[in-house]
């Protein structure tokens, strides 16, 4: 199975290769590996009785369904559905229900990523259950026996080292499954966008690996993939593409990249070029640059009292959330900083802290308590603070191509209600003046602990929660 890669003799890989879409790079092999029904799969690892049973996991506050095992999908339980609507169905069908156990999922994610890192020198952890891999130079286990810990040298010949063969990638999936118990799927292609597309095709076909390296096979494959499943095509772009007669990934790849740049932006041009096999994005590069949203102030009157400072920081978080929602974004993390007046002859203190959300959030009901908690960690009594600020980190588009992720936005309540609440708050603030409606700052830390009625033990992070063997 000859690919374009072998035609080229000059295969030096330049780390700082130009990234403008007009310059195709030397051939790459990218993989996108992701876990199947990740949260549900984590719960199954330690409850073998649930191996073939339907399992669902609920969002914060047990509000809605954020994960379903394959068996639960077959029962027709929709992603993102408010739990109370399917509670009876779950009882009737014996569906195992779990509250989110982020301690467990975070630890299992770490294990999965560490395992994957044994198979590729370059790895980008894209989300809690997905990673991009660069196989173009790679490290591999010298033998396929699990007992062996010998490692091979960096490869430069994809065919000799089996990188054009699905069997190699299936072995990675098998190893991840064996070592961690988590089932995964992998898509492989000459660009990140094609690797993502290959992964979607693998899921559609129910296989563990799909390769889009062969140009000759690519057309048939991309014709099978709906355009809304392409990385970067969201709710807003889809109807516009449909109007251009674009319904499949293949249709999209046939558009003129420069034309797309004029109609939309360089982001969409990159998408088309990548679908055609021109690698424009390296690892750790997103189609659009990472965005942050900052709200900060210097105070005319310095603040010493914690409650006063907390109210201020809560306001900043609230306002930042409002602006972010107005731009259709969701925050991956939040950063809070405070500082005393630098130019005064007074005791000085400045500090900052940040926290990542496991899934991007639009909900001020999460942003505000997180900001207050971070403030609690950095505040020190006895200082006159002159400046404070909140930065929402790594803002992702709300309507991302991975539609599954839309429902993973961690909302404090049922998804439709929280969205309506946010909309109402934003509208009121727009008409009555900013900050007319604000979230009450969490006066007690326990106020923001979410309800979780279906918790599983923290099997891998708490000694008292270890699985038992008889």
Partner 1 sequence: MIARYIKRTCCPRPLAAVRIQAGFPSPADDYMETALDLNEYMIDNPPATFFVRVTGESMTGAGIFPDDLLVVDRSVAPHDGDIVVAVLDGEFTVKRLARTSGRVALIAENPNFPPIRITGESDLQIWGVVRHAIRSF
Residue of 316, 8, 35, 295 whose CA lies nearest to 185? 35
Q: Is 142 exposed, middle or buried (0-12, 13-18, 19+ CB in 10 A)?
A: exposed
Indicate the burial class of 279 (C-beta count within 10 angstroms; 0-12, 13-18, 19 or more).
Answer: buried
Burial profile 194-212: b = 16 or more Cβ within 10 angstroms, e = fewer: bbbbbbbbbbeeeebbbbb
Other CB atoms within a 10 A radius of the CB of residue 150 amount to 8
Of 104 and 442, nearer to partner 1 (C-beta) is 104
Sole window of 144-152, 246-254, 290-298, 396-404 interacting with partner 1 (rule: CB under 8 A) = 144-152
- Rounded to the nearest whole angstrom, what is the least distance from the CB of residue 266 to partner 1 in the complex? 26
Question: Of the candidates 333, 353, 387, 437, which one interacts with partner 1 according to CB under 8 A?
Answer: 333
Query: How many other CB atoms are there within 10 angstroms of residue 411's CB atom?
Result: 26
59 binds partner 1 (CB under 8 A): no
- Sole window of 112-120, 165-173, 198-206, 235-243 interacting with partner 1 (rule: CB under 8 A): 112-120
The single residue among 70, 75, 79, 117 that binds partner 1, judged by CB under 8 A, is 117
Cβ proximity to partner 1, 356 vs 399, nearer residue: 356
Beta bridge partners of 353: 336
* Residue selected from 14, 20, 49, 345 as contacting partner 1 according to rule CB under 8 A: 49
Residue 106 engages partner 1 in binding (rule: CB under 8 A):
yes
Find, among 311, 288, 445, the residue nearest to 390 by Cα. 311
Q: Counting contacts by CB under 8 A, is residue 146 touching partner 1?
A: yes
CB count in 10 Å sphere of residue 94 = 8
- The minimum distance between CB 35 and partner 1, in angstroms, equals 12
Kindly state whether residue 23 participates in binding partner 1, applying the rule CB under 8 A.
no
Taking CB under 8 A as the criterion, the residue among 23, 114, 143, 435 binding partner 1 is 114
Determine if 131 is a binding residue for partner 1 (CB under 8 A).
yes
Q: Is 86 helix (H, G, I), strand (E, B) or coil?
A: helix
Which segment (90-98, 123-131, 216-224, 422-430) binds partner 1 by CB under 8 A? Answer: 123-131
Nearest to 360 by CA among 266, 440, 286, 308: 286
The minimum distance between CB 361 and partner 1, in angstroms, equals: 13
| 469 counts as binding partner 1 under rule CB under 8 A | yes
Contact predicate 372/362, CB 8 Å:
no
**Binders of partner 1 among 160-219, rule CB under 8 A?**
175, 178-181
Total binding residues for partner 1 by CB under 8 A? 42
Closest approach of Cβ 146 to partner 1, in Å?
5
State yes or no: residue 145 binds partner 1 (CB under 8 A). yes
Beta carbon of residue 394, minimum distance to partner 1 (angstroms, whole number): 8
Among positions 332, 386, 398, 406, the unique one binding partner 1 when judged by CB under 8 A = 332
Residues of this chain, 351-370, that bind partner 1 according to CB under 8 A: 355-358
215 and 295 in contact (C-beta within 8 Å)? no
Strands in 96-99's sheet, in edge-to-edge order, are 65-68, 55-58, 96-99
How would DSSP label each residue in 369-382?
HHHHHHHHHH--TT
Nearer to partner 1, 85 or 146 (CB): 146
115 binds partner 1 (CB under 8 A): yes
- Residue 111 or 376: the one with the smaller Cβ distance to partner 1 is 111
- The CA-CA-CA angle for residues 56, 58, 63, to 5°, reads 140
- Verify binding: residue 156, partner 1, rule CB under 8 A: no
In 10 A of CB 118, how many CB atoms? 17
Interacting residue with partner 1 among 112, 271, 281, 374 (CB under 8 A): 112
Which residues sit at the interface with partner 1, rule CB under 8 A?
Answer: 48-51, 102, 106, 109-115, 117, 123-125, 128, 131, 145-147, 149, 175, 178-181, 332-333, 355-358, 459-460, 463, 466-470
């Amino acid at each position: 199975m000859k690919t374009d890669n072998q035609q080229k003799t000059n295969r030096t890989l330049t780390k700082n290769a130009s990234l403008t879409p007009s310059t195709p790079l030397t051939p790459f092999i990218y993989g996108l590996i992701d876990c199947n029904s990740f949260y549900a799969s984590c719960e199954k690892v330690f409850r073998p009785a649930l191996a073939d049973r339907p399992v669902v996991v609920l969002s914060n506050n047990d509000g809605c369904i954020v994960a379903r095992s394959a068996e639960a999908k077959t029962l027709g339980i929709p992603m993102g559905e408010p739990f109370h609507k399917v509670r009876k169905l779950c009882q009737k069908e014996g569906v195992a229900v779990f509250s989110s156990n982020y301690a467990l999922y975070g630890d299992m994610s770490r294990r999965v990523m560490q395992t994957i890192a044994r198979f590729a020198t370059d790895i980008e952890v894209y989300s809690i259950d997905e990673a991009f891999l660069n196989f173009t130079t790679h490290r591999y286990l010298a033998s396929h026996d699990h007992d062996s810990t010998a490692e091979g040298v960096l490869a430069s010949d994809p065919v000799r080292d089996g990188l054009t063969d699905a069997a190699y990638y299936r072995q990675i999936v098998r190893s991840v499954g064996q070592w961690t118990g988590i089932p995964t799927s992998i898509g492989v292609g000459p660009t990140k966008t094609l690797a993502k597309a290959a992964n979607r095709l693998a899921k559609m076909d129910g296989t563990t690996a799909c390769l889009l390296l062969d140009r000759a096979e690519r057309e048939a494959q991309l014709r099978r993939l709906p355009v809304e499943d392409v990385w970067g095509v969201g709710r807003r772009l889809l109807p516009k593409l449909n109007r251009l007669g674009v319904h499949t990934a293949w249709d999209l790849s046939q558009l003129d990249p420069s034309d797309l740049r004029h109609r939309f932006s360089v982001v969409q041009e990159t998408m088309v070029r990548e679908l055609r096999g021109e690698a424009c994005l390296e690892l750790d590069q997103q189609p659009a640059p990472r965005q942050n949203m900052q709200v900060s102030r210097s105070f005319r009157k310095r603040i010493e009292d914690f409650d006063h400072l907390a109210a201020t920081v809560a306001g900043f978080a609230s306002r930042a959330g409002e602006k972010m929602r107005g731009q259709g974004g969701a925050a991956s993390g939040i950063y809070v900083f405070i500082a005393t007046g630098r130019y005064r002859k007074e005791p000085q203190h400045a500090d900052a802290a940040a926290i990542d959300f496991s899934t991007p959030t639009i909900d001020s009901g999460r942003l505000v308590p997180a900001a207050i908690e971070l403030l609690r960690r950095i505040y020190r009594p006895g200082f006159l603070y002159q400046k404070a600020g909140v930065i929402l980190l790594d803002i992702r588009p709300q309507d991302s191509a991975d539609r599954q992720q839309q429902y993973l936005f961690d909302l404090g309540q049922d998804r439709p209600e929280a969205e309506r609440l946010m909309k109402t708050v934003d509208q009121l603030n727009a008409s009555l003046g900013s900050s007319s409606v604000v979230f009450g700052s969490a006066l007690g830390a326990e106020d923001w602990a979410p309800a979780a009625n279906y918790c599983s033990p923290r099997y891998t992070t708490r000694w008292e929660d270890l699985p038992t063997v008889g």
